[in-house]
Structure 1
Amino acid sequence: MAELVLLANAGATLFMAGVIWFVQIVHYPLMGSVGRTHFVSYAESHSRLTSYVVGPPMLVEAATAALLLVIRPAEISFLAALAGAALVAAIWLSTAFLQVPRHEAFGRGYDRREHGALVATNWIRTLAWTLRGLLVLGMVWLTIR
C-alpha cells in the first residue's frame, strides 16, 4: 500500500511539474498577446478549462503527500515526507493567495501589472514543483533500488 501511495504521489507531482514549466515559460507570457478585445472571455475560459487539467492531479498530490506522512515505504524518512508536504502547502498557499487573485482580476480585463505579477509570482510554484519532482524521484529511487 505504501508503494502505491508513493507512486500516485510521484505521478501527480511529475505531471504537475511538467504542466507548471509549460505554464511559466509558454502559457502565462503569451497571455499578454491575447489583446484587450477578447481578453476577459479568454481569461474566464482559461480559468475554467485549466481547473479540469490541474484540479485532479493537485488533489491526488495533496492527499498522497499527507498519506506519506503516515504510510510510506520503509526507505523513506519522515523528514523527506514532511519536506514534500511542506512544498505542497507552499504551492497551495501561493495558488490561493498570489495566482488566483490575479486570475480573478483578469475577469475585469487585461492589466499589464497584474500580468507581470502573475508571471513573477508563479516562479514560486514552478520552483516548488521542481523541487517536489526531484524529491519524489529520490523517494522512488530509494524504494526501488
Structure 2
Amino acid sequence: MRKLVSVLAGGALAAAGLVGVAPTASAAPAAVAAYGCTGNLVQTTPVTGAGTDVWANFQLYYTTTGGGTYCGVLVAKKYAGQQHYLELSMDTKPSAGGCNSTSPHDCGMYLQYAGPVKVTNAKDKCLAWNARVDAPNGASAVTGASCD
C-alpha cells in the first residue's frame, strides 16, 4: 500500500492566505492515457486559492512499467479555458525543485493542464512533487511526496 504525504507550500503564499488542502487517495482502476499518463490513479490533491476554491487538481498515477513510473498532471479547474500559469515538477530526490531545476517538469501558460511529467525507475523510491497555479487573483502552490 502506498503512503501518501502532502505538505503545504509555505512562505508568502501561506501568509497571503493562499493554501492547499491535504490529498485524497484513490484506488481507481488503471487509467487509459489520462492526460498522457497510464497506470493507477494513486493520488489527487487540490490546489486551492483563498477560501475553498479549487483552482486545479494534481493527479498522480503509478505503473510498474519502466522500473516503476510516476506520472503527474496538473489539471486546471476554476480557470479552465483561460490562459494562466501552471507549473508541475516531480523528482525522486528529497525536494521536487522548480522549473528552473533539472527535475522533470512542465511549466507555462496553459488553458487546461500542465504535464504529463514522468519519473521512471522509481520503484521503492519516494517521489517529491510541486504544483503551482498563478491565477488572475493570486497564486497558490502545494508540495507533497508519495512513497512505497
**TM category, shorter:** under 0.3
TM-score by length of 1: 0.23
The structure richer in helix per residue is: 1
TM-score by length of 2: 0.23
Q: Which has the higher contact order (CA 8 A, sep 6+)?
A: 1
